[in-house]
């Protein structure tokens, strides 16, 4: 179903324009009183918590809780935040807003554990993030005056992980949860690994700050890492093999970095940090949220939603994905990102017409809310759509085949194809950049940038269709199935699906500038050694044909009539992904001498028909 933003919930549009008053600390101070507490957990540790309660004492209010490792500053009963809750409308309507430093962070006691494993047996004194959430909710409903006995929990990114963990064995008062861009599995997806490939720029930046130990409770921030340059490509090239990160810069002060470097495969260390298997018998209503351009945790939101649907089929469970980068739905208009424009204020629509009605229904009402299972923004056509389930049930599975001469087609290869394979030389000393601009991190808008800078490189294979005779809409995960060989014994395989705009466009100067634009629809990486097992890596036999198959994060995109569908294939994506030496070694312990050039072949014959599997929706 296609929806106009204003039509999804007419009652919300009558509530008035998006107010800026509630983003001002003076307004917050005049309408809310602040209190600070040390809330005891079942093992005796105390978690620092700030409560902002409405000064109006004529009614009872629900509690809206956020648990974060990133500080609940400003600290002190007379120091007020500039805004409360997911957006100003929440502060205007009235909730009791609660913010908590999680265990071991800032002013809370205890030890912080990254992606703390869930404990199945909750014996006396055994704690995890679900027990900390339970104990916090239990204390709040018993001690905070004028609460109505209902609690909601929400958070973005790491706070989304704590939200999802709080849904497990939840306190009876916890009625609604919105894990937004939650981290769920740091090996299979999210912002540390994808299919076993290490996301270097993201992990280095994050752990350089957030991986350092905090010996005692403190309100002091850890200073940002100083690179001394804006050229991340050259910086990480000069870094060399991964062991140099600790020996040159961290020097033992970032313990989790060294933990990661000791666990290259999907072993017990990583499996214990996979939250998804624990999302069983979930009682609170769930609203999972992310963006198609969320480079950090789209994986987490999609898989939290799917895990709840599969393991807790009776739970009220919903998914929202818009045209956003990481957390963009919570700030600004959401009408543009990078090189792309979306034609409407998508962020405002989400906050007013989805997020607020969700929490109102479960925390103030009876749970009756006119929200479908999935509210999804369709890129390419720039429109909101709703679905009764995700992925949609009415799609047709199709295969998009690589063909000789750089062609791409929904038709299978035939004997008329002129060659069996295409090849390129992958050189770790000259890796393909993931972005055409200078930057030091996993730039939040890199997926919304023109990809022509990569298409012209000799170490990138390019395949594309003829101009489309009609619109083609795809939904769900894209699954590359490649037949490949390498002259080395290991290799990464990056596949990018791209929407190519017509070479000539008429219209305004801004529209004409999109002529030939290459819009990245989805790109992902598979570390070749894990092609048969993430637990037991194995080398390639040089020159032998091997199958590489993996799934990408979902999409909902329309390739418009006259556009082309393009696929780019490469073996480096730097410094988004660390460099594979192209030699079968433990990459986390590799030496500079291990890195070597490799000749990569991608096959597209009738016998070895490389293709991408996808779900095509009816027109």
pLDDT tier, 87 (very low <50, low <70, confident <90, very high otherwise)? confident
CATH number of this structure's domain 2-184+275-387: 3.40.50.1820
User: What is the distance between the alpha carbons of residues 88 and 601, in angstroms, rounded to a whole number?
Assistant: 54
Report the pLDDT value the prediction gives residue 22, as an integer from 0 to 100: 58
503 pLDDT above the threshold of 70: yes
In the chain, where are the structural domains located? Answer: 2-184+275-387, 396-617
186 pLDDT above the threshold of 50: yes
Q: What is the mean pLDDT of residues 15-26?
A: 57
Locate 391 and state its tokens.
């992925």
Q: Which residues, 6+ apart, have CB-to-CB distance to 611 below 8 Å?
A: 399, 400, 401, 402, 480, 481
Residue range 576-592, pLDDT digits in tens: 999 999 999 999 999 99
User: What is the distance between the alpha carbons of residues 486 and 490, in angstroms, rounded to a whole number?
Assistant: 8
407 pLDDT above the threshold of 80: yes
205 pLDDT above the threshold of 90: yes
Mean pLDDT of the chain: 93
Report the pLDDT value the prediction gives residue 23, as an integer from 0 to 100: 66
Whole-prediction pTM: 0.94
Note whether 2-184+275-387 and 396-617 share their fold: no
Angle at 494 between CA 606 and CA 276, to 5 degrees: 110
User: Which of 569, 614, 617 lies closest to 458, judged by CA?
Assistant: 569
Report the pLDDT value the prediction gives residue 584, as an integer from 0 to 100: 98
- Lowest-pLDDT choice from 243-252, 384-393, 509-518: 509-518
User: What is the distance between the alpha carbons of residues 98 and 54, in angstroms, rounded to a whole number?
Assistant: 12
328 pLDDT above the threshold of 80: yes
Report the pLDDT value the prediction gives residue 506, as an integer from 0 to 100: 52
Report the pLDDT value the prediction gives residue 18, as an integer from 0 to 100: 37
Report the pLDDT value the prediction gives residue 398, as an integer from 0 to 100: 98
Look at residue 485 and give its three-state secondary structure.
strand
Q: What is the mean pLDDT of residues 48-60?
A: 96
User: What is the distance between the alpha carbons of residues 364 and 360, in angstroms, rounded to a whole number?
Assistant: 5
Residue range 94-132, pLDDT digits in tens: 999 999 999 999 999 999 999 999 987 666 778 999 999
CATH number of this structure's domain 396-617: 2.60.120.260
User: Which of 167, 145, 164, 166 lies closest to 156, judged by CA?
Assistant: 164
User: What is the distance between the alpha carbons of residues 299 and 52, in angstroms, rounded to a whole number?
Assistant: 33
16 pLDDT above the threshold of 50: no
140 pLDDT above the threshold of 60: yes
The residues pairing with 213 across neighbouring beta strands, listed in sequence order, are none
Residue range 410-446, pLDDT digits in tens: 999 887 655 799 999 999 999 999 999 888 989 889 9
């Amino acid at each position: 179903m296609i929806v106009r933003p204003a039509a999804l919930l007419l009652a919300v549009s009558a509530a008035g324009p998006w107010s800026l008053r509630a983003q001002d600390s003076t307004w917050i101070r005049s309408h809310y009183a602040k209190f600070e507490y040390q809330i005891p957990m079942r093992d005796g540790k105390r978690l620092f918590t700030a409560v902002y309660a409405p000064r109006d004492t004529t009614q009872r209010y629900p509690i809206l809780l956020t648990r974060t490792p990133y500080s609940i500053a400003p600290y002190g009963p007379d120091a007020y935040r500039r805004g409360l809750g997911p957006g100003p409308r929440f502060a205007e309507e009235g909730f009791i807003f609660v913010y908590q430093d999680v265990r071991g962070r800032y002013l809370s006691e205890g030890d912080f554990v990254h992606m703390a494993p869930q404990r199945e047996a909750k014996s006396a004194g055994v704690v995890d993030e679900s027990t900390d959430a339970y104990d916090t909710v239990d204390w709040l409903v018993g001690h905070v005056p004028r609460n109505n006995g209902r609690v909601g929990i929400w958070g973005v990114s790491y706070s989304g992980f704590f939200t999802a963990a709080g849904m497990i064995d939840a306190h009876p008062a916890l009625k609604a949860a919105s894990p937004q861009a939650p981290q769920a599995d740091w090996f299979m997806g999210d912002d540390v690994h994808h299919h076993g490939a290490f996301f270097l720029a993201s992990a280095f930046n994050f752990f350089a700050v957030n991986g350092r130990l905090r010996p005692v409770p403190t309100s002091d921030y850890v200073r940002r890492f100083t690179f001394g340059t804006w050229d991340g490509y050259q910086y990480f090239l000069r870094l060399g093999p991964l062991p140099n990160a600790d020996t040159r810069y961290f020097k033992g002060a970032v313990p989790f970095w060294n933990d990661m470097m000791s666990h290259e495969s999907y072993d017990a260390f990583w499996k214990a940090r996979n939250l998804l298997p624990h999302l069983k018998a979930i009682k609170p209503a769930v609203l999972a949220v992310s963006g198609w351009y969320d480079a950090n945790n789209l994986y987490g939101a999609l898989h939290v939603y799917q895990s709840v649907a599969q393991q807790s089929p009776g739970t009220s469970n919903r998914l929202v994905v818009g045209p956003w980068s990481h957390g963009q739905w919570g700030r600004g208009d959401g009408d543009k990102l990078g090189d792309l424009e979306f034609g409407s204020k998508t962020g405002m629509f989400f906050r007013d017409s989805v997020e607020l009605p969700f929490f109102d229904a479960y925390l103030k009402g009876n749970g009756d809310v006119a929200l479908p299972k999935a509210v999804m923004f369709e890129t390419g056509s720039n429109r909101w759509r709703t679905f009764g389930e995700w992925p949609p049930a009415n799609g047709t599975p199709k295969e998009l085949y690589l063909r000789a001469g750089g062609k791409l087609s929904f038709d299978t290869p035939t004997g008329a194809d002129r060659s069996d394979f295409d090849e390129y030389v992958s050189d770790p000393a000259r890796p393909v950049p993931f972005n055409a601009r200078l930057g030091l991190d996993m730039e939040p808008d890199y997926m919304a940038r023109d990809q022509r800078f990569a298409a012209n490189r000799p170490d990138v294979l390019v395949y594309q269709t003829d101009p489309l005779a009609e619109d083609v809409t795809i939904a769900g995960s894209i699954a590359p199935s490649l037949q490949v060989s390498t002259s080395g014994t290991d290799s990464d395989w990056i596949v990018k699906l791209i929407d190519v705009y017509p070479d000539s466009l008429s219209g305004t100067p801004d529209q004409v500038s999109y002529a030939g634009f290459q819009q990245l629809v989805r790109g992902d990486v598979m570390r070749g050694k894990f092609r048969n097992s993430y637990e037991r890596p194995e080398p390639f036999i040089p020159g032998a044909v091997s199958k590489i198959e993996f799934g990408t994060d979902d999409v909902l995109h329309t390739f418009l009539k006259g556009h082309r569908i393009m696929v780019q294939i490469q073996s480096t994506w730097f410094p988004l992904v660390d460099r594979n030496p192209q030699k079968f070694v433990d990459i986390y312990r590799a030496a500079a001498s291990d890195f070597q050039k490799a000749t990569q072949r991608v096959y597209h014959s009738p016998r070895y028909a490389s293709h991408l599997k996808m779900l095509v929706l009816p027109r």
